[in-house]
Amino acid sequence: MLAAQDVAQRCKELGIIALHIKLQATGGNRTKTPGPGAQSALRALARSGMKIGRIEDVTPIPPDSTRRKGGCCGCRL
Q: How far apart are CA 62 and CA 60, in angstroms?
A: 7
- 16 pLDDT higher than 90: yes
Q: What is the pLDDT of residues 29-68, one digit of tens each?
A: 888 899 999 999 999 999 999 999 999 999 998 887 777 7
- Sequence-distant (6+) residues with CB within 8 A of 4 are 40, 41, 42, 44, 45, 48
pLDDT of res. 47:
94
pLDDT of res. 68:
77
Q: Are 51 and 17 in contact (CB under 8 A)?
A: yes
pLDDT of res. 63:
83
CATH class of the domain defined by 1-57: alpha beta
- 75 pLDDT higher than 80: no
- 76 pLDDT higher than 80: no
Nearest to 50 by CA among 58, 36, 7: 7
- Segments in the chain forming alpha helices (H): 2-14, 36-47
Domain spans of the chain, in order of start: 1-57
